[in-house]
Structure 1
Amino acid sequence: MAISLDKAFGMHEQALLVRDRRAQVLSENVANADTPGYKAKDIDFQQALVNAQSRQSRSMQRTHDGHFPISTATRHEVKFRNPEQTDTGDGNSVDMNRERNAMMQNAIEYQTSLQFLNSRISGLKKALTGTGQ
């Protein structure tokens, strides 16, 4: 009987990839906090996850059974964020408090998906070997 890793891991595999891409985008915002004219960006996680799952379902035809599909948020999923603060005069829309909060929330959600995957892998390992080690 074959084990379907797609069914075992669910959406958490794609969620990790999208969260990783979002962390990169948020880091770019922080790095450019003092850059005149820089506009803050973000990823719509729900839309990026839906897109990642649809890309994975379309990529089921692979050239070799051992190949894994890898998908992450694409450039068109990165959007400019509407600023919540008044313009400081230099055209930069990065709000450091908002960026820190978004980065913390993203990190917590990344860890949650990672813990879920770790528990699934541990359960699969136990089912295959008959032990927890």
Structure 2
Amino acid sequence: MSFNNLTLLNEAMNASDLRQKTISTNIANINTPGYKVERVLFEDKLKKANSGLELDLSRTNERHMFINSPFRDLKPEVVKRTGTSVKDNGNNVDLDYEMSEKAVNELYYSSLQRQVNHELSQLNYVINH
């Protein structure tokens, strides 16, 4: 695994952490009049950055020419969903939906964590053997 891949996994974990905080904020505001839920966009941006890439290039020596990665500036984005209302007071928090998103995000974060641990254990093996 290259440094760029570890950086990308780190950004995905940061996005998942931000998503968990955003979901918690949405749930905390379930009774706030006029509150509009927020969503974290990351995976769609990742797919867009990855589309059309045919080569997986990495630097194996510090003297090699640096190849700009399309993932270098990939950051999660928080957006409000304003076009809907679940309650008469203008609030659009759906508790069932938020709880299911929370569960999915927890699984996503755990899988990212396992990937990072696996890659780091491989690097550790190479270094020590």
TM-score normalised over the length of structure 1: 0.69
Match runs of 1:1-133 below 5 Å: 4-7=2-5, 9=6, 11-49=8-46, 50=49, 53-55=71-73, 72-73=75-76, 77-81=77-81, 83=84, 87-130=86-129
Could you say if the C-alpha distance between residues 23 and 116 of structure 1 is closer, same or farther in structure 2, counting changes exceeding 3 Å?
same
Q: Which runs of 5+ in 1 are unaligned?
A: 57-71
Query: Match for 2:25: what amino acid?
Result: E
Superimposed CA distance per residue, residues 61-119 of structure 1 (whole angstroms, 9 cap, x where no aligned partner): xxxxxxxxxxx53xxx2112354xx6421111000000000011011001101100000
Q: Which runs of 5+ in 2 are unaligned?
A: 50-69
More displaced stretch, 37-46 vs 109-118: 37-46
For the aligned residues, what is the CA RMSD?
A: 2.3
Q: Secondary structure at the match of 1:78?
A: strand
Q: Which has the higher helix share?
A: 1
Q: Secondary structure at the match of 1:54?
A: coil
Name the % identity. Answer: 26
Superimposed CA distance per residue, residues 40-60 of structure 1 (whole angstroms, 9 cap, x where no aligned partner): 11012224545x92326xxxx
Q: Secondary structure at the match of 1:110?
A: helix
How many residues were matched structurally? 106
**Structure 2 equivalent of residue 65 of structure 1:** none
**Structure 2 equivalent of residue 62 of structure 1:** none
Contact persistence 2:86–2:94 (CA under 8 A): no
State the distance in 2 between where 1:29 and 1:92 align: 10
